[in-house]
Structure 1
Amino acid sequence: MNQIATEMQHCIDECLRCYQTCLGMASNHCLPAGGKHVEPEHFRLMLACAEICRTSAHFMLLGTSAHKHTCRACAEVCEACAESRAQVGDMQDCVDQCRRCAESCRKMAA
């Protein structure tokens, strides 16, 4: 595999992990926890993050050059989600995963 294909596969993996992490955390941690975990702005951001990660992975798997646009958006949403989670607290694994995904997506968008 060439360098670009290796980096893209890494980004696909990070996006899918982030998708799984965000959706799982929203469903299995935030909903039961309630309170600040389900405040609309925070909860919508988690769901948006999951969806843009899934979409970015999908675009890369399709092999379309439009993945640069979805990856750029994904990096921005992942960063915002990481910040929101850090403020709410009790979700460090998710904060870390969002930041790893954002970093990988920024490279793919370049």
Structure 2
Amino acid sequence: MHQMSAEMRACIEDCLRCHSTCLGMAMNHCLEQGGKHIEPGHFRIMMACAEICRTSAAFMLIGTHHHKHTCRECAEICEECAKSCEQVGDMETCMQECRRCVESCRRMAA
């Protein structure tokens, strides 16, 4: 049985929260706001962020050592998403969740 550290459990929670925040904000906030909120580059990074967060959480739950790779990529994409959200504006919740996930995933990738 794979023993999961408290740090890994926290990272899984951060990833899943970031997944639901990015997906929820893209679909409910950005689509409603329109304009720069649905600019293709911004919308794509939000979708990519939601997807890699879900994947990273799944890899940690599976217990494969490959989670280090998905977590490294997740941190990079979350960082990019946070920057995009900052540029678009009015995306504070998403920025905060992405940045929390960046820190968590960097620790897991180390």
Measured against the shorter chain, the TM-score band is over 0.9
Offset at 1:77?
0.2
> Equivalent residue for 1:58?
58
* Residue 85 in structure 1 maps to residue 67 in structure 2: no
Letter in 2 for 1:14: D
Q: Distance in 1 between matches of 2:70 and 2:51?
A: 11
Task: Give % identity.
Answer: 69
Letter in 1 for 2:36: K
Offset at 1:21?
0.1
Unaligned segments of structure 1, at least 5 residues: none
> Equivalent residue for 2:28?
28
Count of matched residue pairs: 107
Deviations 1:6-48 (A, max 9, x none): 0000000000000000000000000111000000000000000
TM-score, with length taken from structure 2: 0.96
TM-align CA RMSD: 0.7
Runs of 4+ in 1 over 3 A off after TM superposition: none
Offset at 1:93?
1.1
Letter in 2 for 1:19: H
Offset at 1:55?
0.1
Q: Distance in 2 between matches of 1:59 and 1:103?
A: 17
Alignment of 1:1-110 (within 5 A): 5-110=5-110
Q: Distance in 2 between matches of 1:26 and 1:91?
A: 10
Letter in 2 for 1:89: G
Unaligned segments of structure 2, at least 5 residues: none
